[in-house]
């Protein structure tokens, strides 16, 4: 079998799909994207295509190493996301060619279903309790929301108190019927994170995510030493080599690589194994589309330390389009009454793309950008 064509489709809300075709008629799908930089990743995919056309798609390991090493320059959000989507498509082809789900090729199931959680509250959290009540009635009991809005390097106790009041109101309304992680989204400096973690601990969040920016990862260990709240991070780390010093230093309880950003299934399965060796849990980041989610689930189903899967149903970014709109086999992604998805039954990644609908949507490509936030003094704030 040989790879003959790579086609990309940029479609609402902010997703990029890759279709890899072979001379035997088997096609694979991937989702290579960085949110807000889809066109850059799309260009990288087609540039990397020079190494793929005419090659045997079954040699995933060799093709991955070629894409990673052959260009001399490597790593980073754009290149590793391009490799990620290509890698997903190659696994999809291999599974379809052999007639088995990808998790069978990775050694088989370690669990029957994977627990997922939902986003509530959006960028500037409001009405979280009402949303949680609604979702709880549908079986979801685990959530994530943003902890703060803009926060200065050193901010007033009023800003801390606003976050604490919000979390306190959730616990008061929902009691222990729900679990939640709180995403600091890299908006918080280490000194402010120290204060927030101390004040949040009585409300027992499942985890705090990106307590500081990933480039400030040296603070994970001292922050973790100062709190009982498990710390999570990894959506902006793109390879094993980036996770290596972070895991070695300690401090993270959960790693969250993104299957569409960190080199795909091939790389993220290895990151999961590295984390397991450090007794660290695995919870892939996935605010993206259905191919990305299917790729995450394939690794979750074979990784003993996978604890939670993010998914984007109803996420605030999905304006006008939701997770399963381009999916034909929607029933395979239904969450049960524990918010869990059963092992995907179909060969390959387990997602059947509604190609006509996707092609139609790609005629009006989105120009999604994250908001540019500024502090009161006019300086740029972390979003």
Return residues touching Mg ion (CB under 5 A).
183, 209
Q: Output 135 or 185, the one with its CB closest to Mg ion.
A: 185
From the CB of 148, what's the least distance to Mg ion, in Å? 13
**Of 236, 234, 263, whose CA–CA distance to 30 is shortest?**
263
Sign of CA dihedral 136, 142, 147, 149: negative
From the CB of 327, what's the least distance to Mg ion, in Å? 24
Only one residue has tokens 């922050």, namely: 223
CA 55 to chain centre: 29
Q: Output 21 or 183, the one with its CB closest to Mg ion.
A: 183
Q: Which residue, judged by CB position, is nearest to Mg ion in the bound state? A: 183
Q: Could you tell me the two tokens for 375?
A: 């502090």
Q: What is the set of active-site residues? A: 185, 285
Q: What are the backbone angles phi and psi of residue 89, rounded to the nearest 5°?
A: -65, -35
From the CB of 320, what's the least distance to Mg ion, in Å? 22
Q: Output 133 or 369, the one with its CB closest to Mg ion.
A: 369
**Of 10, 34, 7, 33, whose CA–CA distance to 20 is shortest?**
7
Q: Output 35 or 209, the one with its CB closest to Mg ion.
A: 209
From the CB of 315, what's the least distance to Mg ion, in Å? 11
Is the separation of the CB atoms in 314 and 320 below 8 Å?
A: no
Q: What share of the chain is helix, strand, coil (3-state, %, to 5)?
A: 40, 15, 45
Q: Could you tell me the two tokens for 63?
A: 């093709």
Q: Output 211 or 264, the one with its CB closest to Mg ion.
A: 211
d(CA 51, CA 70): 9
Q: What are the backbone angles phi and psi of residue 159, rounded to the nearest 5°?
A: -65, -40
Q: What are the backbone angles phi and psi of residue 337, rounded to the nearest 5°?
A: -75, 10
From the CB of 157, what's the least distance to Mg ion, in Å? 25
Helix or strand (DSSP H, E) at 96: helix 77-98
């Amino acid at each position: 079998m040989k790879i003959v064509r790579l086609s990309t489709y940029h479609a609402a809300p902010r997703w990029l799909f890759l279709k890899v075709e072979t001379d035997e008629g088997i096609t694979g799908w991937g989702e290579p994207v960085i949110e807000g930089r889809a066109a850059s990743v799309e260009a990288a995919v087609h540039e990397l295509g020079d190494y793929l056309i005419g090659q045997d798609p079954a040699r995933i390991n060799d093709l991955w190493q070629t894409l990673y090493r052959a260009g001399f320059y490597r790593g980073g959000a754009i290149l590793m996301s391009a490799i990620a989507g290509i890698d997903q498509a190659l696994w999809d082809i291999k599974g379809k060619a052999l007639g088995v789900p990808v998790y069978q090729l990775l050694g088989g199931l370690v669990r029957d279903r994977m627990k997922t959680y939902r986003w509530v509250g959006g960028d500037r959290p409001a009405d979280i309790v009402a949303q949680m009540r609604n979702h709880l009635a549908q079986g979801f009991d685990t959530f994530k929301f943003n902890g703060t809005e803009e926060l200065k390097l050193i901010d007033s106790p009023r800003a801390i108190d606003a976050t604490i009041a919000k979390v306190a109101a959730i616990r008061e309304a929902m009691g222990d019927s729900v679990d939640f992680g709180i995403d600091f989204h890299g908006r918080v400096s280490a000194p402010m994170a120290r204060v927030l973690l101390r004040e949040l601990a009585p409300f027992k969040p499942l985890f705090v995510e990106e307590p500081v920016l990933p480039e400030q990862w040296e603070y994970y260990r001292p922050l973790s030493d100062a709190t009982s709240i498990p710390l999570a991070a990894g959506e902006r780390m793109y390879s094993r080599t980036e996770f290596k010093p972070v895991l070695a230093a300690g401090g993270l309880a959960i790693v969250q690589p993104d299957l569409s950003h960190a080199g795909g299934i091939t790389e993220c399965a290895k990151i999961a194994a590295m984390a397991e060796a450090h007794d660290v849990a695995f919870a892939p980041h996935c605010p993206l589309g259905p191919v990305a989610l299917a790729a995450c689930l394939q690794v979750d189903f074979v990784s003993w330390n996978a604890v939670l899967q993010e998914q984007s149903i109803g996420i605030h970014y999905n304006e006008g389009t939701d997770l399963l709109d381009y999916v034909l086999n929607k029933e395979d992604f239904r969450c049960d009454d524990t918010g869990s998805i059963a092992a995907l039954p179909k060969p390959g990644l387990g997602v059947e793309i509604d190609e006509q609908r996707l092609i139609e949507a790609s005629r009006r490509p989105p120009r999604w950008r994250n908001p540019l936030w500024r502090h009161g003094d006019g300086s740029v704030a972390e979003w």
